[in-house]
Structure 1
Amino acid sequence: MDADSGEGIVVIGAGQAGLSAAYHLRRLGLDFVVLDADDTPGGAWQHRSPSLGVGELHRIFDLPGLPFTAPPSGTAASVVAAYFADYERHFDLDVRRPVRVRAVTRDPAGFAVATDAGDWQARAIINATGTWSRPYLPVYPGAAGFLGRQLHYAAYRGPAEFAGKRVLVVGGGNSAVHVLSELPGVAASTRWVTRRPPQFHDGEFTEDRGRAVIAEVTERVAAGLPPQSVVSVTGLGYTTLVRAALAKGALDRHPMFDRLVPTGAMWGDSFEPFDVIIWATGFRAALSHLAPLHLREPGGGIRLDGTATVREPLVHLIGYGPSASTVGANRAGRAAALSLAAALLPSSPVR
């Protein structure tokens, strides 16, 4: 499918969800192209901190048709990126990169996709842009006046640059745990704060558990509300990183500060100095290019029927809300492909 063609489906994003969708579109005989903003394969994984080893991953679910076998060593970023690159080659998927989508609009023939590498016409859209490109920084009193360094977890590249620093880590998810598992013994001190007490659970995060999480998040999306963070539903499992942080005494959680001041944070009248704040506060769905379609509900979210948006049934969101996890992304990719096969090729058999 070439630029300006209007015969097929444009998949936006080549991470776990986008590649899963492409695999199933190929099997169903649908014409498609995948547009990916990155220079190389790997989705969001290629941007993860080089200090995160493959052995510390919570779990990577296989992409359909090609099992993932983790090597004994290597960074998560390089290992998963290599797997995604192999996957694209193995199934000869039509991925164009780097192509940055600027806007998707309705036109008489379907949809116009404006990019920095030309324009595409499409009968349908599968959006799989994920969240990594849109880190979330909450607003807290005094944050603008803090004189130390502030960074989001997306910019974290390992503990070395924080040697001798007093570090405040904000957030209750796996990103915060990753940071806290590495800073002890390097930073002068760490303080972990969250809005709610973290919930830990035993047991592997299985596909059955994943389906239960998806069902819970689906309720919120079905109501037209923005999806919650995954960890707010799943809690924190006793992963390799959690156990490492516990062994170092780094998971001593404290409540959120009341305000920041130029040299630290205040809890009521109690002051603690800090040099650095790491905001491990999650991400939001990267959907600004879909704004011209007016998909959002009054509650701020996008209502879905399966993976299809209610306001534009030929626009599917995967890696959003219920499918914002590796297991959910795989299932959503298949669901979106099957739905579009039924809509665009009514005689196509369901496979």
Structure 2
Amino acid sequence: MTHTVDVVVIGGGQAGLAAGYHLRRQGVDFVILDAQSTPGGAWQHTWDSLHLFSPVAFSSLPGWLMPTQSGEEYPDAGHVVEYLSQYEQRYQLPVQRPVRVRAVSRDSGRLRVKTDSGTWSAQAVVSATGTWWRPFLPAVPGQEVSGRQLHTVNYRRPTDFTGHRVVVVGGGNSGAQVAADLTTHPGIDLTWATQRPPRFLADDIDGRALFDAATARRRALDAGTSDTGGVASLGDIVALAPVREARDAGLLKASPMFSRLTADGVEWADGWRADADAVIWCIGFRPVLSHLAPLGLRASRGHIPTVGTRAVDEPRLHLLGYGDWTGPASATLIGAGRPARDASREISMLLANGTP
């Protein structure tokens, strides 16, 4: 059986919910298909101590300010999951789950969305699957003989590594936060390896400044003026309290990136070795776009060329929440709203006039 609808939104995390909010305001008939069995998107799978970079006023989806969390200036991941769940209910968004989308293809002037529980026919599709489900692991010599390797997505709490020697790889926020988290638990021998010396942002900078920097960069690029450098010009690591405390206590000492993995740990080019029971890779993600492969839109670095959020070679497809290439800070809670609004307006025009 094929279900017919104006718009299919793929993904029920923050970007998908922001799209649903604005599509509802446009009066569009839509459905949100979410592969997860419960609300909350990737936030329900993060490590236990994770907190937002920003207070609630700068961490909210369109329409409803995130409630404050008692005793916390920067809410934790559990609070975000609760907020996203309530957001769905508040706006009665038509989320169906768990539904895993297998492929999106062209079909007689419409887009065909094939899932593990049926097929949908839509005039437009919003892909908002994010990046969490595609962790990046580099090709490093020695992987075939190395022991336990994990990614950020597999890390939950320091007590899982009691008595272990752990190497954390990555000089960004996740690497610094996981490394700092491990320093809070006695009995863990930590090595933190980074490609370049860690660049901590000033202690008073949080997600508010980062969003402003990302937005200013996008405006400069759109206007054809000099690149401001965006967030990268400020540093790589937000100095949240746990990171700042570990840094100031001298517990976050970064080593240069090692050259190979061994059966017992890691080894640097000069022959120095560090034993390790586990290596945790905190080096980022790639966009989850395999469901769009039948459309033949992929280009350099695995991205799909877009104008704003709209795919250049398929105007019925919009992409939300994958990073700056689909909107300034679009992979953040506060940054998801504006691209979702723009996409919903273009989709409404497409439905009304046949062109975006």
Question: 3-state DSSP class of the match of 1:320?
Answer: coil
Aligned equivalent of 1:161: 160
Alignment partner of 1:332 out of 305, 329, 339:
339
Q: Which amino acid aligns with 2:289?
A: L
Question: 3-state DSSP class of the match of 1:22?
Answer: helix
Equivalenced residue count is 334
Q: Which amino acid aligns with 2:199?
A: Q
Q: Deviations over 1:193-234 (max 9, x none)?
A: 1112222222333556424325657999xxxxxxxxx87986
Q: Which amino acid aligns with 1:285?
A: P
CA–CA separation in structure 2 for the residues paired with 1:156 and 1:88: 28
Using the TM superposition, give the Cα deviation of residue 345 of structure 1 relative to its aligned residue in structure 2, in angstroms. Answer: 2.2
* Distance verdict in 2 for CA 1:332–1:241, change over 3 Å: farther
Aligned equivalent of 2:79: 79
CA–CA separation in structure 2 for the residues paired with 1:238 and 1:67: 24
CA–CA separation in structure 1 for the residues paired with 2:236 and 2:7: 36
Using the TM superposition, give the Cα deviation of residue 18 of structure 1 relative to its aligned residue in structure 2, in angstroms. Answer: 0.7
* Distance verdict in 2 for CA 1:73–1:285, change over 3 Å: farther
Whether 2:320 is the aligned partner of 1:345: answer no
Using the TM superposition, give the Cα deviation of residue 241 of structure 1 relative to its aligned residue in structure 2, in angstroms. Answer: 3.1
Aligned equivalent of 1:321: 323
Structure 2 contact 173–236 (Cα < 8 Å) conserved = no
Structure 2 contact 52–77 (Cα < 8 Å) conserved = no
CA–CA separation in structure 1 for the residues paired with 2:64 and 2:153: 29
Whether 2:251 is the aligned partner of 1:260: answer no
Aligned equivalent of 1:152: 151
CA–CA separation in structure 2 for the residues paired with 1:92 and 1:297: 36
User: Which is worse superposed, 192-201 or 288-297?
Assistant: 192-201
Aligned equivalent of 2:177: 178
CA–CA separation in structure 2 for the residues paired with 1:296 and 1:4: 27
Whether 2:236 is the aligned partner of 1:235: answer yes
Structure 1 contact 211–328 (Cα < 8 Å) conserved = no
Question: 3-state DSSP class of the match of 1:45?
Answer: helix
CA–CA separation in structure 2 for the residues paired with 1:171 and 1:133: 18
CA–CA separation in structure 2 for the residues paired with 1:207 and 1:257: 34
User: Which is worse superposed, 161-170 or 69-78?
Assistant: 69-78
Structure 1 contact 12–35 (Cα < 8 Å) conserved = yes
CA–CA separation in structure 2 for the residues paired with 1:82 and 1:121: 32
Structure 1 contact 6–109 (Cα < 8 Å) conserved = no
Alignment partner of 2:48 out of 47, 50, 53:
50
Q: Which amino acid aligns with 2:62?
A: P
Aligned equivalent of 2:199: 199
Whether 2:26 is the aligned partner of 1:28: answer yes
Structure 1 contact 152–279 (Cα < 8 Å) conserved = yes
CA–CA separation in structure 1 for the residues paired with 2:286 and 2:17: 21
* Distance verdict in 2 for CA 1:137–1:82, change over 3 Å: same
* Distance verdict in 2 for CA 1:206–1:79, change over 3 Å: closer
Using the TM superposition, give the Cα deviation of residue 255 of structure 1 relative to its aligned residue in structure 2, in angstroms. Answer: 1.0
Question: 3-state DSSP class of the match of 2:339?
Answer: helix
Q: Which runs of 5+ in 2 are unaligned?
A: 222-230, 325-329
Aligned equivalent of 1:105: 105
Using the TM superposition, give the Cα deviation of residue 50 of structure 1 relative to its aligned residue in structure 2, in angstroms. Answer: 2.3
TM-score of the superposed pair, with normalisation by structure 1: 0.88
Structure 1 contact 45–76 (Cα < 8 Å) conserved = no
* Same amino acid, percent of matched pairs: 45
Question: 3-state DSSP class of the match of 1:138?
Answer: coil
